[in-house]
Amino acid sequence: MNDKRLGRQTVALAHPPSVLSFSNIGGKFEGQGPLADFFDEISNDSFFGEKTWEKAESAMQKTVLQRALEKAELTPEDLDYILAGDLLNQCIGSSFGLRDFRVPFYGLYGACSTMGESLSLASLLIDGGYADRAAALTSSHFCTAERQYRMPVPYGSQRTPTAQWTTTAAGCTILGSDGPGPYVTHVTCGRIVDKGITDANNMGAAMAPAAYDTLSAFFRDTGYKPADFDLILTGDLGELGHAIVRDFFQRDGVDMGPQFQDCGLLLYDRKHQDMHAGASGCGCSASVLNGYLLRKMREGKWKTILFAPTGALLSPTSSGQGESIPSICHAVRLSAVRE
Amino acid sequence: MNDKRLGRQTVALAHPPSVLSFSNIGGKFEGQGPLADFFDEISNDSFFGEKTWEKAESAMQKTVLQRALEKAELTPEDLDYILAGDLLNQCIGSSFGLRDFRVPFYGLYGACSTMGESLSLASLLIDGGYADRAAALTSSHFCTAERQYRMPVPYGSQRTPTAQWTTTAAGCTILGSDGPGPYVTHVTCGRIVDKGITDANNMGAAMAPAAYDTLSAFFRDTGYKPADFDLILTGDLGELGHAIVRDFFQRDGVDMGPQFQDCGLLLYDRKHQDMHAGASGCGCSASVLNGYLLRKMREGKWKTILFAPTGALLSPTSSGQGESIPSICHAVRLSAVRE
């Protein structure tokens, strides 16, 4: 056991990588929500100037990476790695969106945990001395996700009350070995957890045990308590899933407190925007992190954040074959200052 | 620039991780080919005892990981990470096949380059001190791939002469910080390359420029020449794609020599098995590596191998929208002895 490793799942980074820059982009509904001012760009055109929604999703990834590079005054040649993935079959949002940058690329599949997974691996590659700078990014698009996972949007299918709304958004963080912060101090790698939930319209409940598993591992491995954080954020558990995680911890005698929140519950106006159980999609936690969270951390509002997005590792084929929904959660601790 | 890094894309591992064990499994046709004796298990049942082909693919991943653990006399608790992915939508071959092991998991999507990508990241995590042991694995299944990418097998569609045959196989390598070898000494991370090929029945041609790009980077970064290797292996370029890479190098005045081969051309009997342009699929390079190649390296037949599988990052949706085929290649240098 190496001394960088705390317990089984957590790494304490010897030289915490710094956020160099971050960028996000959103669609029409994201621009009508309470975090509208924290987007670099809002597009009222769901096609983002492209001919198909899939190409639109690729355009979002291209845009956030380009803008994050500009903010950090970097060129693609300055990046040692890109780590990215998305929800689309064969992750075409990433491969087509990022093909023109000519940067060494590790493609990921972590469903809606991808922002956590990409940040984790980027941090490890930098801390390990394998990279000076790396970009972590992901995206989702309501219309590509509906077409692929449920029904094409023009069919006008009804949604169940437990259903969540796939965010049309992308987010990108560029990390470097040195910089102004925030800093990634810890990385907790999730395990696949499957408690037998089969309802693909209730992904929050399916993903809750994975969030509980990874957050528990983080607290166990590091000795931190929920009260040590200004914010603990799951990605897109939505109303139901988030409440389940809080209950799980309560049964352990752990009060997660009011600082325990969910990106999917922050992104839309729960009163005036009818998104049912909340936002979902890789782009949800990615766009909340790479706008609202990192900007407010830099402004001094929060000192430490535990960011723990979850992913549901199902496919329409697995659901069609009667399978349950395996899930995963990857957590990253962010600190505004070097500790 | 850290001194672990050679050039832009290659890392020379400070303490090369060792192969602890390896395992593979194949289907009926793999068992009729010239490498039949190098499989741990051949199943004549394309369902591998399951009810669907997708569940069969998951069963293959479960089996190879279980067997690799047994060979190394390890339990799942001894593994710090699993790195895996596959060709299926949302990578369900991996998430369902590996959910019961309860090992920290980073899901990857690199299409048929996944064995290279997973070995690369596992090596970096171990060399960086973030893991003592990690498993890298992937799979493919002829029937799941045909159903998803082309037509369900029972439809009996005709195949073009340039088409390749998706291997029904899986392979797993367990790496550790110390062990008997072979050792992973270098890792070259590929970039996405897209030269505008749109024929999804000629993936070898689409992937050839990616193989050329990564192999060129490896030679440039390390100073090695093709003649320094006993074997240089692409993954599943097939007859056409492999010849294109050889031509590319010839134009640069570089003779790749007879040691330049392709796993997809080794797996089947080109005379008596009509697989058209050769084998393909993540399971092709994975099963050739985790049987024939690693066993023969341990037996002393080859000292150094450059293993460079390629992946075509397309989807049926992207092809349907008239898109070309972005590709990637991840290379790993293996040495029988510590250098």
How large is the ipTM? 0.97
Residue B42 pLDDT: 97
Residue B277 pLDDT: 78
Domain endpoint, select from B148, B176, B204: B176
Residues B163 and B191 occupy one common structural domain: no
Cβ contacts of A192 on chain B, cutoff 8 Å: 95, 98-99, 101-102, 105
Which amino acid, B241? G
Query: Which DSSP state fits B124?
Result: H
Taking an 8 Å cut-off on Cβ atoms, the answer to whether B90 and A111 are in contact is yes
Residue A1 pLDDT: 40
Closest CA to A254 of A220, A204, A284, A287: A220
Q: How far apart are CA A190 and CA A234, in angstroms?
A: 13
Residues B23 and B65 occupy one common structural domain: yes
Least confident piece of the model among A69-78, A199-208, B24-33, B325-334? A199-208
Strand partners, B170: B25, B139
Domain endpoint, select from B145, B176, B207: B176
Residues B24 and B121 occupy one common structural domain: yes
Residues A65 and A204 occupy one common structural domain: no
User: HEC profile for B10-59?
Assistant: EEECCCCCEEEEEEEEECCCHHHCCCHHHCCEECCCCCCCCCCHHHHHHH
| Low-confidence spans in chain A with pLDDT less than 70 | 1-3
Closest CA to B97 of B143, B50, B131, B132: B50
| Strand A133-140, strand A81-86: pairing | parallel
Residue B1 pLDDT: 40
Q: What is the pLDDT of residues B113-151, one digit of tens each?
A: 999 999 999 999 999 999 999 999 999 999 999 888 877
CB pairs below 8 Å between A and B: how many?
183
Can you read off the two tokens belonging to residue B107?
């899901």
Residues A63 and A163 occupy one common structural domain: yes
Residues B55 and B132 occupy one common structural domain: yes
Residues B152 and B194 occupy one common structural domain: no
Can you read off the two tokens belonging to residue B128?
């960086």
Residues B285 and B224 occupy one common structural domain: yes
Q: Tell me the torsion sign for CA atoms A220, A225, A230, A231.
A: positive
Whether A166 contacts A85, CB under 8 Å: no
Domain endpoint, select from B176, B206, B232: B176
Average pLDDT over residues B138-167: 84
Residues B247 and B209 occupy one common structural domain: yes
Residues A172 and A196 occupy one common structural domain: no
Domain count, chain B: 2
First to last CA, chain B: 23
Average pLDDT over residues B1-7: 74
Whether B292 contacts B26, CB under 8 Å: no
Residues B236 and B137 occupy one common structural domain: no
Q: What percent of chain A has pLDDT over 90?
A: 86
Residue A279 pLDDT: 86
Residue A200 pLDDT: 81
B328 touches chain A (CB under 8 A): yes
Which amino acid, B176? G
Nearest CA in chain A to B188: A104
Q: What is the CATH number of the domain that holds A289?
A: 3.40.47.40
Cβ contacts of A218 on chain B, cutoff 8 Å: none
Placement of tokens 């992915």 in the chain = B85
Residues B26 and B144 occupy one common structural domain: yes
Distances (CA, A) of B67 to A142, B61, B70, B97, B170: 41, 10, 5, 13, 12
B117 touches chain A (CB under 8 A): yes
B313 touches chain A (CB under 8 A): yes
Cβ contacts of B130 on chain A, cutoff 8 Å: 2, 4-5, 11, 124, 128
Q: What is the pLDDT of residues A176-195, one digit of tens each?
A: 999 999 999 999 999 999 99
Residue range of the domain that includes B302: 183-335
Whether A288 contacts A278, CB under 8 Å: no
Q: How far apart are CA B258 and CA B267, in angstroms?
A: 17
